A and B are shown apart, each in its own frame.
Chain A
Amino acid sequence: DIVMTQTPSSQAVSAGEKVTMSCKSSQSLLYSENKKNYLAWYQQKPGQSPKLLISWASTRESGVPDRFIGSGSGTDFTLTISSVQAEDLAVYYCEQYYDTPPTFGGGTKLELK
């Protein structure tokens, strides 16, 4: 199975701050034939189901604010929130769908400083 490692596990932030979080995979998620990275990011708020934010490592889902930016390729990926808002406090998970079983990282929890 592909192992997904997220860092940090938690991060204290202030509103307006730029935030970056990392996701590393144990093998490349880049499929050579279509040059796509099979990596997604999800946001989960307390008591809610996860919400898909970004697919293919950098493609925002419809309605997702443009302050959420996904980047990276191969085995190293980053989710950046350019200016954190109060409503962004949540746990963020990365997930690979390059191979079965799909696997998730352990999550990065954004908390208020």
Chain B
Amino acid sequence: QVQLKESGPGLVQPSQTLSLTCTVSGLSLTSNSVSWIRQPPGKGLEWMGVIWSNGGTDYNSAIKSRLSISRDTSKSQVFLKMNSLQTEDTAMYFCANTPGDFDYWGQGVMVTVSS
């Protein structure tokens, strides 16, 4: 049974760095790719970036300068780090298995950027 679960702080101060973890079970990170996708309250979905099964990464050009995605295959975890957070980064953050489309999603973690 494939499961993804996001974890991280619910509140981040403006200009600070966001760190999130996606813990994966039921699939291997060396054979599967994982994306981060976010959704501001009441709005649509925005793909942020992906870590491919070979460890390479691709990022959304709009946030590329602030974003880093990495992984620890031994722990089946994928990490997101995004710096210089602003209020417009307030959103639900999801991780999702990425065979092309997004077939398995985590439940999401709500991140609020506020002082």
Contact = CB atoms under 8 A, between A and B. Distances in A.
B47 A102 contact: yes
A77 interface: no
B105 A49 contact: yes
Contacts of B106: 49
In terms of DSSP, what is the predominant structure of the interface of chain A? loop
A61 interface: yes
A35 to B, nearest CB: 15
Interface residues of A, number: 21
Interface string A36-67: 00101010000001111001000001000000
B107 to A, nearest CB: 6
Contacts of B108: 49
A104 B45 contact: yes
Given A49-B107, A52-B103, 13 more contacts: A40-B101, A40-B102, A42-B102, A49-B105, A49-B106, A50-B94, A51-B105, A52-B102, A97-B101, A100-B58, A101-B61, A102-B35, A104-B44
16 contacts: A1-B61, A40-B101, A40-B102, A49-B108, A50-B94, A52-B102, A52-B103, A55-B100, A55-B101, A97-B100, A101-B47, A103-B47, A104-B44, A104-B45, A104-B47, A105-B44
